[in-house]
Structure 1
Amino acid sequence: MGAHNITRVSEFHLLSFSEDPDLQPILFGLFLCMYMVTVLGNLLILLVVSSDFHLHTSMYIFLSNLSFIDISLTSSIVPKLIVGILNHIRVISYVGCLTQMSFFILFACMDHMLLTVMAYDRFVAICHPLHYATIMNPRLCVLLVLFSVFVGLLESQLHILIVLQLTCFKDVKIANFFCFPSQLLNLSCYDRLIITIVQYIFGTIFGFIPMSGIVFSYSKIISSLLKTPSSGGRYKAFSTCGSRLSVVCLFYGTAFGTYLGSAMSYSPRKLEVASLMFTVVTPLLNPFIYSLRDRDILSSLKRLHHWRV
């Protein structure tokens, strides 16, 4: 089918992790466990933050929203992947592909926008502690969350509008385990240069600009921490910021690598592994990085456990 242009597409074929029948039960169990841990871990954060009024501050409001988005992001992809492994089906309908792509872009964009907002929140808390309560007031927090939703909806709808204009495809085989937008665009019969330019424009506006905000915030945070006289406090702050920054780099690095790498025809297997990092691994790590190392969250968990008992 790849040798001829296809004007009417009813379904797409997704890339599998392995064709080895002996590996299918292992992959099924692995992805199912990762998905359950991700959902339960992020649900626990939502429960703790919502049940403890001490945590009703900007930092934990952003964290609870991040948990909800992580659940939604991984749920837009992993259940379909698990069912496909179980039933040995690698096919997704045209409408299903557009729907999955729409939700994926929405939650992925909201995710990196919220990571930018959280970096700014920590920048204000560490670099301007006396003005933190004034700057990060409840009204601004709500506006920042709503802005993240707006940007996510904007990017999602722009991608969908572009894909809906595609009436001709070179192939129906998507080189990934889900309907990744840039790889879907690469299947179109349109001029490759135009498609590449569109991808780089989207990557710059919706990826590079938020990432620049994160880099700026953490560079200011690190500069401020270096001036801290207490070596113990400096080490603790560096440890916390370092772990958070590492997850942010993992998310952005693999997301950018997959999106722009598709435009440069990188190996499908490498793109598949990179996609796995920011769609499955980072949502899995976020509850551990952002919560289990946080004393307030741990204290709330203990109070919640004693109250339940």
Structure 2
Amino acid sequence: MTFRSGAADAPAFNQNLGAYLFLAPALLILFLSLLLPAAATIGMSFTDISFLRPTNFVGLDNYLRLLSDGRFQQAVFNTSYYTLGVTLPTMVLGLLAAVALNRRFPFRVAFRTIFYLPVLTSLIAAAVVWVYIYEPYSGPMNGLLVSLGLPPQPWLQSPNLAMTALIIMAVWRDFGTAMIIYLAGLQDIPEEIYEAARLDGAGKFAILRRITVPMLSSVTFYLMIILIVQSFQVFGAIYVMTGGGPLGSTETIVFQMYQTAFGYTEFGYAAAMSTVLFFVILLFSIVGTKIMRKGEA
């Protein structure tokens, strides 16, 4: 009996070994490109490494410094404000566009493509174009305001307007992603439900509020997680358009990490910022995923 059991287990062992061998290159790349740098960053956060002087172990000093660092607290506020300002409008506009483009009408595919094109555009290239759009003297945005009888605005030069200008650009670029995700979710809603609602006399707004939105709840939550995690890591647009200014009004956590590490060579302190951001995003993703699975169940 023992011999037969061993013989029966041999093919299964060989199959598992083959699967692990095929996975080994990908796992090695994942370890070298993600897990190893993450572990190194966490380790650096407990030191004062700067590559300009001997490195010393400082324990939790970097993390305690974060608690009293007003500049870091401002970056946390800016990041939260940016995330909220991008996530909600992107989801609303994406849902409305998906509902409108889910119907059959001429050139529907063309409109879907046009709305999705900003997602395919290079972020840096888009940021450069939007710098021209916001140009205070000859930019199209101020030209539109003047044509409406409104005064021109220093969009990227004003501490009160710079973050709003970044949010507008981010919504323009990201709402195509929300539209595509919502379109995929709309395909799973049976048409019979809509027909029954119309026979009962429900209007378009009532159908949207009582049928479409509730049945897309899991899609909405999934999209919200994606947008929040993406917004927490914003860097490229800020680097090109404002450089964190004016007066630090657009300095986010990731941009401050970059400045701290490569501008002030405080790599240990920047690693502490990175570690805090990593665990915040990880915690949010885990909690959000569990809530979404519980809702689906």
Question: Shared fold by TM > 0.5?
Answer: no
TM-score normalised by structure 2 residue count: 0.30
TM-score normalised by structure 1 residue count: 0.29
- Max Rg structure: 2
